[in-house]
Structure 1
Amino acid sequence: MNTEYQKYIPKKAIPFVQFLIDEHHFTLKIVNQRQTKHGDFRKLPNGSYQITVNNNLNKYQFLLTLVHEIAHHVTHQKFGRVQPHGKEWKAIFQHLMLPFLHPEIYPKEILPLLAKYLKNPKASTDADVNLSLVLKENKAENGKSFIFAIPEGMFFVFKDIIYKRGKKRRTRYECLNTKNQKVYLFNQNVEVKKI
């Protein structure tokens, strides 16, 4: 039995997660950070199922990502091929998250935002700026800053391209790509490197 995952999630969540692993038969791999995703679900060529989760996530992000991916697996088992984040997945994800919506698992500052997010979950928790920031404990990765911490008019690097931070719109920031001179909108929880 693979118990490596236990150090990555809140202690009180372990029995629920172990139940899901035992019930749904998949291999869980904890992998190095990927830039484009926190987790992944796939059917392997031999017919078995694998879920991967990035090892750089804190325990609250890790747990949410793991349950998100388990929901993909359960959706696949129940419905076959459907929209990846469609109504079937949303209903299963909401159902699977219920036992974890508890103050012994998620802190009280995360719970209301998580409950709100779960009313209509998106493909990525990063799409919900407030939840994303509270899950990251309002701390950017080492050597990076959140876009809202970059002063207007200052330059930063995102995916090897230099941008100039512009004005804030309602919820996002206008940023000028210095390479192609186009303006892009950045969510306030995007992590960038200061220059």
Structure 2
Amino acid sequence: MKETLIKYIPEKAIPLVEYLINKHKVHLKIVNQRQTKHGDFRRLPNGQMQITVNNNLNPYQFLLTLIHEIAHHVTYTKFGKVQPHGKEWKTVFQHLMLPFLQPEIYPKTILPFLANYLKNPKASTDADAKLSLALREGKAESGKSFIFEIPNGSTFQFKNTLYKRGNKRRTRYECLNLSNKQVYLFNQNAEVILVTS
């Protein structure tokens, strides 16, 4: 397990993660990138519990996603069927993440945002714009830009569809889908391909 984990998470986190995987009998599967989620927890038809995590995440995102999914596993084992991101899961997730909140594992540029997020964790880390940006170390994927970086009125591509960037609401941007003329709200850290500015 260590040989696999060293490719995906910070080295200092490996003993803690190995302990959790063994203690909770986690079946971890590392999968290709999915557009809609970083990780997943499910009970397979044979009764086995499986956690999947995307292989394209950086070590800090990967570790947070893995612990998020282990928290689902532990919550399910302890409480049965409860709200996926309800109070039981939040408590378990906070408890599991606490030992990882140290500068040997997470850099000081991420720690304050992570600590703040863990006060009331959401279903997705991407819902916390500041944490999401810190986890990506302030850089969009090569060839892409964050939506907040592109000019208002510019055209961009997202999932093979063209949009025109509009005004910012509180935390999201209104963007006009140029095919169906509907307005969609985009997270400010959505990664898009700029077409014309």
CA contact (8 A) 1:5 1:30 kept: no
Runs of 4+ in 1 over 3 A off after TM superposition: none
Deviations 1:78-132 (A, max 9, x none): 0010000000000000000000000110001111100100011000000000000
Q: Which residue of 2 aligns with 1:12?
A: 12
Equivalents in 1 of 2:12, 2:86: separation in Å?
Answer: 30
Partner SS for 2:93? helix
Q: Which residue of 2 aligns with 1:147?
A: 147
- 1:15 Cα deviation (Å)? 0.8
Equivalents in 2 of 1:24, 1:6: separation in Å?
Answer: 20
- 1:5 Cα deviation (Å)? 2.0
CA contact (8 A) 2:2 2:18 kept: no
Q: Which residue of 2 aligns with 1:174?
A: 174
**Aligned length in residues:** 195
Q: Which residue of 2 aligns with 1:85?
A: 85
> Which ranges of structure 1 fall in alignment gaps of 5 or more residues?
none
Equivalents in 2 of 1:45, 1:185: separation in Å?
Answer: 37
Equivalents in 2 of 1:49, 1:170: separation in Å?
Answer: 38
Q: Which residue of 1 aligns with 2:71?
A: 71
Q: Which residue of 2 aligns with 1:162?
A: 162
Equivalents in 2 of 1:117, 1:73: separation in Å?
Answer: 20
| 1:96-107 equivalences in 2 (<5 Å) | 96-107=96-107
| 1:183-194 equivalences in 2 (<5 Å) | 183-194=183-194
Equivalents in 1 of 2:171, 2:49: separation in Å?
Answer: 38
Deviations 1:64-91 (A, max 9, x none): 0000000000000000100000000000
TM-score (norm 2): 0.95
Q: Which residue of 2 aligns with 1:121?
A: 121
Q: In structure 2, give the amino acid aligned to 1:139.
A: K
- 1:147 Cα deviation (Å)? 0.3
> Which ranges of structure 2 fall in alignment gaps of 5 or more residues?
none
Partner SS for 1:66? helix
- 1:179 Cα deviation (Å)? 1.5
CA contact (8 A) 1:30 1:55 kept: yes
Q: Which residue of 2 aligns with 1:30?
A: 30
Q: In structure 2, give the amino acid aligned to 1:115.
A: A
Partner SS for 1:34? coil
Deviations 1:164-184 (A, max 9, x none): 011223322221111222222
